[in-house]
Structure formats: C-alpha cells, structure tokens
Chain A
Amino acid sequence: MKYIDEYRDPDLVRALAERIRDLRYDKPLKIMEICGGHTHAIYQHGLHQLLPDNIELVHGPGCPVCVIPIGRLDDALSMARAPDVIFTTFGDMMRVPGSKGSLLNARADGADIRFVYSPSDALKIARENPDQRVVFFAIGFETTAPSTAVTLLQAQQEGVSNFFMFCNHVLVIPALKALLAAPDLQLDGFLGPGHVSAIIGMQPYEFIARDHGKSVVLSGFEPVDVLQSVYLIVKQKTEGRSAVENQYSRAIKYEGNLTALKLMDQTMEVRPFFEWRGLGSIPESALKLRSDFSQFDAELRFDVPGLKVEDPKICQCGEVLRGALKPHQCRAFATACTPEAPIGTCMVSSEGACAAYYKYGRTLLTDTMKKWAQ
C-alpha cells in the first residue's frame, strides 16, 4: 500500500529502535500516548516490545468512545427508543453499556439503530426518510467535529427538518490540562494525537512544554511514526529540554486546518462543563451546537433524562484513562469485564486501552511470547 508500507518498513523500524537504544538514556521514562489510535497501533504491531525496558508507554484518555459517560449514553438510548426515530451512530458505540443495556440491546428490542460511517450518511438517511426523525450520535475529538459541522451546514442549507445532532464532541487540550493537574501524575512526555493536531495545529500544546516541562511530539500512526516520535522524546530528555515537536509533518501544519476550525466555530460553541467518563466534570472541555442550529439540536428537541450516572463501582476506567493504572491492573480486567461483556468503555472500542490490551497482548502472555521468541 503506497504511503503506508513505507512507514511499516521492518528495516527502518529496527534501525529506529536501535537509535533509541544508542541514545543510552537509562532513567525510567514514562510516555503517554494520548490518542486511542496510537494505543491500537502500538499493540497491533507489538511496538512496545521494541523499546528498552526503562521506557514505558502509558495509555491516555484519547479514545472517543471511552470518555462518553453513562449518563450521555442513557440519553442516546432514550432518543433511540423514542417513536419514529432512526438513530445513527458510529459502529464503535454500539456495544457500550449504558445503565440499562447498550444500543445493540435496544436494536434487538426493536429500535431502529443503524451504524454509519459519517454524519453525512445520517443526513442522507434523513432525506430518504422524511417521516422519521433521524438522530446522529456525534462523538469524537476535534478529528470528527469538522464533519459534524459540515453536515449541520448542509442540513441547514437544504432545510432538512427531520435531522438532529446529539453533540458529544470533546476537546483534547482541556482533558490534558485536567490530567496535568492531577497530583498522582508521573509522566515525562506525550505522544501527541496526529489526527486531532492536523485540525488544531501545534500551538495549543506549547504550555505543556513551557509550564509543565514535559515533552510533546505530535505523531503519526504507523510503526515508523511512533518509534521516531519516541526517539524524539528520548532525545529531548538526553539533551535536558522539553519542547513541542512535529513528527507527523505530512499531515500537521503549525497553524492546523483553518478551514475546519472556522467551520467548527461557525456551528458549535464551547460548553461551560462536560462530564468525562472516569475523569469527572472538566470545564470548557466539549462542544455544543450554536443557537443558530438549535432546530437540529437533539438535546433540545428530545426529552432526555440528562442525568449523571455513576460508573459501576468495580470499574476503574478512570484510573486507566488517566494512565494511573495499566489495563491489566484494573480489578475487573479480563474477569468481570471482557470485550464480550464490557463493564467499562475502555473494553469496548478497539481504541480503548483495555480492549487493545485484551485483544493484542494480555501481559503475562506477552512475557511468555518474549521468552519463546528468544
């Protein structure tokens, strides 16, 4: 595959792993990959096994499915179960448990729930079904928000009156601020999210290096990208400096994607607070529709419970999302909570740290494999 295989070249990957070792940085180093896409890539390729033992990768809160709290999911389920509704969602959300079952369960009970690949597919369903109310479950960081914005503008322009957006878009920087404020935080640097940064650019991360003394390298998602980014972080540490660097320059510009940012600003505004699963309420950390688009706002047009629902007691998703616990250290991991019967959201999405851990490398087994491989 052109433009992908180059970044999966085994020789290049080995050479990068070698160069990381050559830096001879021997102090413990904790690097958080913020984005679930990185978690997925690390486990899919077994990248963590190529790193020296003192470098530890910690999984961050950047899985869009994982941070949706139970209360919001209950709201979604109540919309999906309302009469004359076609509820549309990204596939990943289907299995996430609310307080009374998941969207898959609701579909089995007869609700019309369809998974789509983009909000514009949902708009198409709305055009084709004028007698039904079509709701799109908009989730994701700044990566997916621009397509929500474009779809809203299109719906407005066409005057589609049966289309509604349940907006749950979240923002990465406020989440990082919340993480950095946590007293139990022990991190030396971040692998910055590649796709989000293609939208927001490099500038928003600068406070992390300046005020907190931590390295940030904005990274692509292929093995060569991730290892090169780790190399850049280790190099900063050996040189005793902290900075924001851009490994993913083929996608990220310093100023970001100004067109996308303008579209987001035109259609959405920052909420005063938003509840994050496991992280609690974070100020100015999510988007809602602007009042010009209130006719499309599912939160206003549907009667939803809108309650805050506590996570199940056994679930430690919060600690996993903060990087305080490794997935297998959660008391429910692989016993009460599995991909077949998830309790926490981290076990659902393939970008969730727990699901990636479960699917690609339950730790003990990975150790056994390592021994076998030697």
Chain B
Amino acid sequence: MSETPPTKSGEPKRDAAPRRRRPELREEKILLSHGSGGKASHSLIESVFADAFSNSLLDALDDAAVFPVDSGRFAFTTDSHVVSPIFFPGGNIGDLAVNGTINDLAVSGATPLCLSAAFVLEEGFPVEQLRTIVESMAAAASDAGVSIVTGDTKVVHSGKADGVFITTAGIGRVDGRVHIAQSAVQPGDKILLTGPIGDHGIAIMLAREELEIESEILSDTTALNGLVEALINAVGGAVHCMKDPTRGGLATSLNEIAQSSQVCIALEEERIPIREGVRGACEILGLDPFTIANEGKLIAAVAPAASEAALRAMRSHPLGAQSQMIGDALAAPPGIVFLNTRIGGSRVMDMLVGDPLPRIC
C-alpha cells in the first residue's frame, strides 16, 4: 500500500500545527439540540469527540473519510452496542464498541485499518459520562493501533433510548497468507482457545443492580488483533478458522463452526479454562458457563501439524498466556459439538437458545 490510512503502526497521526481554539461545551447534560446539526452539535463534536479521536482523516471533519487502498482483499464489519449497565467492571460501552469491531476484523484474518463510530444519545445523558466513554474508545483504538476516522451523533428524546448506544464499523486488510472461514475447518484440525471463558457475561450480570453478589470478575474486553497477528505470523495458512465467542459463548461459536464446516467438534471439559469466580457465579445462578459471553477470547481451528507451534505463539502473547488446546475436529457426526466431561461421561454441547435464563432451584 503506497499510502495507508493513519493506522497500522501505533499512534494516530496528529496535526503538527496548533489548532484553533475549540468551542467549549457548557451543558452538563445532553440536550436534543446537540443532535440537531447546528451550533450545539458542533460544540459537542469539537469538544468531546474531535480531540479525543484526533487523526488527519477525522480532523478534516468532511462528510466522509477518504483514503487510498491498493489491491488485495478487505474485510468490512459493523456492530451495535447497547450494553446495560454502560459502565461495568473492566470496561464500558466505549472500549467494548471499539474492541468488538476490531475483533470481528481480526478473526477474519484482517489487520484493522480504520473504524467509524456512531452514537445515539438519550436526552439528559451526562456529558461527563460521555467524555469518559469517548476517552475509553480513544484509548482502546490507540492500544490496538487503529484510528476512528469518521462518526455521527444523534440525540433522541428522554426515555427513547438507554443512555447511549454506539455503532462501530471497521475496515481491515486481509492477510494474504490466510483464508479464514467458518466453513473451512477440516477433520483433524485442533481447536485452540486463548483463555478462561465467561468473564464478560458474568461481570455484566453481576454489575446489574438486582444481583447482590460481590465478585472481582472483570470483563475481558480487549482487542485481539495483536494476538491474531502473532498467530498468523507463526503458522500462516494453517489457521483455518478463528472466532471470538461473544454472545452465546463458546458453545454457540463452536456449533456455528461445526455446522458450517460439517464437522464434529469433540471437546475435553478439563482443558477448558474457567475462572473460579465465574464457575461460582454460574453455580449460584444456574447458568452454563459455555454459553456466557466473552469479549476478548479467541477460538482457532488449526491444521494438526501446526497446532503445537500455534499454541506456543498464542501462549507467548500476553493475551494468550492461558491458551489451551481444547479439542479436535472430527469427520462425524457432522454439525455436532460434544464434550467429554471431567468425570468420563460425554454430552452434546448445544447452542444457546434465547437468553441465558437462570434455573429455579
């Protein structure tokens, strides 16, 4: 690529020249006028978003970010975020929205290039909280070496939204060495997982007021592009499929892979890491940790000959220190995931149906 968007290697580019003085935002709460497109909108954008996200493409404040691309394959994805509570142990809706889109690109084998961010704000939402969210987004993007190059803000009447909704989209350039697809898993492939499951879902559930359970479980929200890059550098095209098991958890992601690739996936329960606190919360609430959401874990299906090297590469990355080979892809029965239990039994591991609903007793 002759000229890349202001991403890829670390820090977003900032204008060298001193800026004109930004208009200040006097209001402490979001008003409908902040979404009207007039002066109030400008002062919100300039005082809250423009500085935090600043990069050469965004700073122009044009209708679209324009940048050149060269040949190759590109990945394009989008995701809306509506989490409640907005602030939770280990993160908030902002870093979640940035990491979520980066991870969707990364598991497609793409290096994220740039993101968009669109906000739906509820009238009355505290500006201070919005600033915190935006700062988290800027930090998450910067950590992952990606820029937010375009955005939008709308405000709806009080009661018509739940504080703030954020939609992010992202473009990434697909690594030429890999052909990642949900349907590309072969019988014989090894299934790898980068660390303990269920952290995000349980952190969110326990952060909701109605559950008075104390815990120290943090959401695992993080960007996986660095880890994916390390994996691809180590074993290249031997990676057949990657997924980040978000909503529906490990069970749902693996079922999607099994059905799409028409393979059976056989897992070993004792190799699947789950934190003590997550197991405890699942026991109390009657939930299945295999169906609980993650926001910073990677599942990879890797050709058997490369699987040891893949595991080493994953383990040497800080986000993959607890990586495990959790199972195998088999030829039959196709479309089924099953689990060899710790005590020597086995069972089907089905997809989540509906929401995870706690058992009664």
Contact = CB atoms under 8 A, between A and B. Distances in A.
Nearest to A223: B343
B176 interface: no
Given A8-B343, A49-B346, A373-B340, A144 B357 contact: no
A92 interface: yes
Nearest to B358: A91
Given A117-B210, A339-B353, A365-B333, A360 B347 contact: yes
A115 B357 CA distance: 9
Contacts of B283: 1, 4
A44 interface: yes
B237 to A, nearest CB: 29
A79 interface: no
B345 to A, nearest CB: 2
B360 A116 contact: no
A349 interface: yes
Interface residues of B, number: 32
A305 interface: no
B280 interface: yes
**Secondary structure dominating the interface of A:** helix
Interface string B321-361: 00000000010110010101111111110100110011111
Contacts of A369: 338, 346
Nearest to B353: A339
A50 to B, nearest CB: 6
A239 B186 CA distance: 53
A195 B360 CA distance: 12
A369 B339 CA distance: 10
Contacts of A366: 346-348
Contact of A92 (B211, B346, B347, B358): B358
Contact of A46 (B333, B346, B357): B346
A349 B97 CA distance: 33
Contacts of B341: 44-46
B357 A91 contact: yes
A45 B345 contact: yes
B344 to A, nearest CB: 6
B266 interface: yes
Interface centre among A91, A95, A115 (most CB of B within 10 A): A91
Nearest to B285: A117
B360 A139 contact: yes
A43 B347 contact: yes
A46 B359 contact: no
Interface in B7-65: none
A195 B276 CA distance: 24
Contacts of B288: 350
B342 A8 contact: yes
B340 A361 contact: no
A171 to B, nearest CB: 15
B330 A372 contact: yes
B347 A46 contact: yes
Given A90-B358, A349-B359, A362 B348 contact: yes
Interface in B150-202: none
B81 interface: no
B145 to A, nearest CB: 39
Contacts of A350: 286, 288, 357, 359
Interface of A: 1, 4, 8, 10, 13-14, 17, 37, 40, 43-50, 64-65, 90-92, 94-95, 104, 115-117, 121, 139-141, 143-144, 195, 223, 339-340, 349-351, 358-362, 365-366, 368-370, 372-373
Q: Give 10 closest A-B pairs by Cβ, nearest first.
A: A46-B345, A91-B357, A360-B347, A13-B343, A339-B353, A49-B345, A143-B361, A91-B358, A359-B350, A90-B360
Given A43-B347, A49-B344, 19 more contacts: A1-B276, A8-B342, A44-B347, A47-B345, A48-B345, A64-B360, A65-B360, A92-B358, A95-B354, A117-B210, A140-B360, A140-B361, A351-B360, A360-B348, A361-B347, A365-B333, A369-B338, A370-B346, A373-B346
